[in-house]
Amino acid sequence: MQRIQTIFHLFLTASLASTVLILALLAFRKLFKKTPSSKLAYALWLLVLIKLLVPLAPQSPISLFGLMPQAATQADSAMRQTPPVPSLSVDDGTAASTQPVVVPVPEDHPQPETSEPPAPASAPPASPLEEKASGQARWSPLPIVALSWLAGFAVLCLCFLIGTLRFEFKFRSSRRIEDPGIRSALEKCRRKLGIKRPIPIHETYGLRSPFLYGLARPKIYLPADIAVIANSRQLEHILLHELTHYKRKDLWINLLWMLAAALHWYNPFVWLAIRKMKADREVACDAGVLEVLGERESAAYGRTLLLLSKVLARSSRTAANFSPFFEHEHEMKRRITMIAKFRKGSYRLSAAAILALLAIGAVVLAQAPNTRTGAAPQAGSGQAQAHTASFHLVRINDWSKWFSSLERANDFSGFTYKVPDYLPEGYRLENINLAKYMDMNDNVVAITVKNGYEVFPHEKAFELLASKENLLDTIYSSQSGGEVRTNAPATWGPADPQFFKYADATFAGIHGTLVSRIQTYAWHLPETAKSFVWQDEGIWYAVDYFSENHTREGTLTHRSNVTMPDLEKMLHSYVFPEQIKQVDYTGEGITFPLYDGKDLQKAEEALGFDINISSTLADGQWKLMDARLNKAGDRTRYFKFRPAVDTLETSYQPDPDLKSTVYSMNDTLNLYQSKAPIVDAAKMTVLRTLDLDGVRVTVAEDGKRFYDVFEVDPKKDTRRQLFYLWEKDGIYFTAAFLGLEPNQEENVKSLIGAPALDEKKA
């Protein structure tokens, strides 16, 4: 069901975008209806067809849809934010039960209040408020709409199939024409058009108009009395018209339009586009015939068209894929007008027209970049609030950000959400992550709280999530979480993709969904994690309150194991950030990253001096990748190298866009700035002492990896770890190199000469 909803959403977005193109093209046809533009118009219809059939396209800043009001974007967001039914299918192909899912838990970890069968008549009815809350959290029209779309698609495909079978059955009795005059005319027309493949010609009593039919084995069908109706000259016109359809692959294109109609059956503009496209196709085909016949024959060709329009009655409608010579009477005037104005070469697409068509295709087929004007900064936008400071750091993985305080995370989250004002005893904030999953427009907030400072497998922690998007569609779904994540030993056998089970549940009076994430193995019992997901005032929340994990040695452990009393107390305490009274979300004493001037100012206040940061190094092949302030005594994050004083750490790596042939892409330089030394050269091998621009620099090699700055295995990574140490204006600098052998001294020299950011702004 989840995949059906995703596919429907993609095609709905494509349908809305295509409607804009259709309206623009209809305006183009009306504006240039008196000029020979039908060949170009028919080519433009192909762009609409591509947009209808290919819902995914590369993003481009020149996209037409980036210049438009965000109506389509808002519709897209509205569809995304519509909550699905919590009873979903799981990866093993079995439908998720609508009954509560029972998962084994420890004795001190009781089960939630799950949905039960209807109570006896004596049981008190639920209050209207509870029913409303439950309905808002559980019911969504999206699955019904998606299934309706799929049903309509299936019905239309069935109609097309039945129409094709009836069409073939109807003309099964047609016979091949052996008349030498007609066959000679057909061969003559084939040579004129340069068609090498022989095309059979049949006569039939089923239709009154000549037509071309058949994709794999095309045939031309003529009315049985065509020899009486048309002379040899008019017969040549008819055959040229049908062979031109064959040469232009119109039957294949028509099949794609039939598929587009089935996919977008609910959009009336698509059906209108098909009707107008067919009219332009016939005019373009007439133009192709006249290019072969020449201007002198245009009047005679027009008379053939008029003759057939009077003599041949329009055939009954059919769903089959064929190309009749005469279809719509009201388009006849337009075709005759084009023929009367025809001039040799006037309907050919010039080089300029082809280039214009390519440019139009680039504009209308590309998607607009994922930007949101007028909204708060997004974790994936590479933007932050406006500050006077010039510092602004965009990381490579800018779709994801982490923070040490709730206030700073909310500067980037893009929406307002609640957090618990109660945490179980011993738990405190460790970090807050903002990230975008899949093709989401909005951030997912993930708050990690931790008890103590242990690391896996001994750590005790759990996550709190918030998002404007439906978490059951993103984080807690097979689509986004199907990959294997396990530390189980190889003796357990191959790990299968994770799958999910869903059940209605009630925690602390809050109606929501119990999600069980299950990891199975070929030769071992499965691992299980549990989360409670609910919606409140348009925002989706989740608590990952239980997990069953294993070490590589196979030891069972529980990283997350929140007791039911603590969980219910925590759920009761959810408030907006300005209402917090008990829990500390300030991140005081926790290491934090630098994104813009606000972080820079906070870092300078902590360090007590103006910071020196260079965006590039001397040889121009290095790029600033990361910056953070390491707080002394911070044990909340897992860093092996912990300076004893507050230290600014900036990391540089070769610019990936330059594709350096000098440096390895994994080479790294970390620059540390602090008010006291953070390493002791005596514990390393001092190689030399330099004088760079009047500054004394000590160069030392940490061959024994006494300072595990880069956290690499020396047995697997043999690159040299060199330190350049100097002091300037009372600030201690430590430049740690991993690799980067060429130009080290020049790069250090550029770091020494880098002015403080305040000096740069001045």
Number of compact structural domains in the chain: 3
pLDDT tier at 34 (50, 70, 90 boundaries)? low
Mean pLDDT along residues 389-398: 73
Helix axes 2-31, 38-53, angle to 10 degrees: 170
Asked if residue 557 belongs to a domain, the reply is yes
Q: Which of 321, 352, 369 is where one domain is finished? A: 369
Mean pLDDT along residues 625-638: 82
DSSP string for residues in 615-627: SS-TTS-EEEEEE
Q: Which of 529, 550, 579 is where one domain is finished? A: 579
Asked if residue 685 belongs to a domain, the reply is yes
Predicted confidence (pLDDT) at residue 449 exceeds the cutoff of 90:
yes
Predicted confidence (pLDDT) at residue 129 exceeds the cutoff of 70:
no
Number of H helices, E strands in the chain: 19, 26
Q: Position of tokens 């209207």?
A: 128
Asked if residue 187 belongs to a domain, the reply is no
Asked if residue 156 belongs to a domain, the reply is yes
User: 680 and 745 in one domain?
Assistant: yes
Asked if residue 659 belongs to a domain, the reply is yes
With a CB cutoff of 8 Å and minimum separation 6, the contacts of 533 are: 86, 471, 472, 476, 512, 513, 515, 540, 541, 542
Mean pLDDT along residues 199-208: 81
User: 572 and 609 in one domain?
Assistant: no
User: 462 and 333 in one domain?
Assistant: no
Q: What percent of the chain has pLDDT over 90?
A: 27
pLDDT tier at 398 (50, 70, 90 boundaries)? confident
Q: What percent of the chain has pLDDT over 70?
A: 69
Asked if residue 726 belongs to a domain, the reply is yes
Other beta carbons less than 10 A from residue 61's beta carbon: 10
Would you say how long the chain is, in residues? 762
Highest-confidence segment of 68-72, 196-200, 408-412:
408-412
- Give residue 54's pLDDT: 86
pLDDT tier at 226 (50, 70, 90 boundaries)? confident
pLDDT tier at 67 (50, 70, 90 boundaries)? very low
Highest-confidence segment of 1-10, 127-136, 412-421:
412-421
User: 757 and 668 in one domain?
Assistant: yes
Q: What is the pLDDT of residues 519-534, one digit of tens each?
A: 888 877 788 899 999 9
Mean pLDDT along residues 358-364: 60
Lowest mean pLDDT among 12-26, 240-254, 265-279, 747-761: 747-761
Predicted confidence (pLDDT) at residue 593 exceeds the cutoff of 90:
yes
Q: Which of 322, 352, 369 is where one domain is finished? A: 369
- Give residue 676's pLDDT: 94
Asked if residue 638 belongs to a domain, the reply is yes
User: 477 and 445 in one domain?
Assistant: yes
- The residue type at 593: P
Mean pLDDT along residues 257-283: 90
Which comes out higher in pLDDT, residue 67 or 375?
A: 67
pLDDT tier at 573 (50, 70, 90 boundaries)? very high
User: 414 and 351 in one domain?
Assistant: no
Domain around 667: 592-761
Q: Position of tokens 């075709």?
A: 335
Question: CATH number of the domain that 620 lies in?
Answer: 3.40.1000
User: 449 and 326 in one domain?
Assistant: no
User: 431 and 348 in one domain?
Assistant: no
Predicted confidence (pLDDT) at residue 222 exceeds the cutoff of 70:
yes
pLDDT tier at 93 (50, 70, 90 boundaries)? very low
Predicted confidence (pLDDT) at residue 759 exceeds the cutoff of 70:
no
Predicted confidence (pLDDT) at residue 420 exceeds the cutoff of 70:
yes
Q: Tell me the C-alpha distance between 617 and 629, whole Å.
A: 21
Asked if residue 91 belongs to a domain, the reply is no
User: 605 and 494 in one domain?
Assistant: no
User: 745 and 667 in one domain?
Assistant: yes
User: 570 and 636 in one domain?
Assistant: no
- Give residue 577's pLDDT: 95
User: 349 and 287 in one domain?
Assistant: yes
**Mean of all residue pLDDT scores within the chain:** 76
pLDDT tier at 130 (50, 70, 90 boundaries)? very low
